[in-house]
Copies of this chain bind each other. A is one copy, B any other.
Amino acid sequence: MSTSAVPVNLDEKLSQFSELWAQKKVATLNDYEVKLAKLKGEFVWHTHEDTDELFLVLSGRLTIQLTDGNVVLGPGELFVVPRGVEHCPVADEETAILLLEPAGTLNTGDAGGRMTKAAEPLS
Give the one of A66, A72, A79, A85 with max B CB within 10 A.
Answer: A79
A78 touches B10 (CB 8 A): yes
- Given contacts A1-B66, A52-B29, is CB(A7)–CB(B100) below 8 Å? no
**Do A78 and B27 have beta carbons less than 8 Å apart?**
yes
Choose one: B1, B52, B67; the contact of A68 (CB below 8 Å): B1
A14 → chain B closest CB, angstroms: 10
- Number of A residues, CB within 8 Å of B: 39
Question: Digit string of A31-65 for contact with B (CB within 8 Å is 1, else 0)?
Answer: 01010000000000000000111100010000000
Does chain B have a CB within 8 A of A113?
A: no
A115 cross-chain contacts in B, Cβ below 8 A:
none
* Contact residues in B for A58 (Cβ distance below 8 Å): 76
- CB within 8 Å of B: which A64-96 residues: 66-69, 71-73, 76-80, 82-83, 85
A102 at the interface (CB under 8 A from B): yes
Given contacts A5-B66, A5-B79, 14 further A-B contacts (CB under 8 A): A1-B66, A1-B82, A2-B68, A6-B71, A8-B79, A28-B52, A28-B80, A29-B52, A29-B53, A29-B80, A29-B101, A30-B102, A32-B32, A34-B78
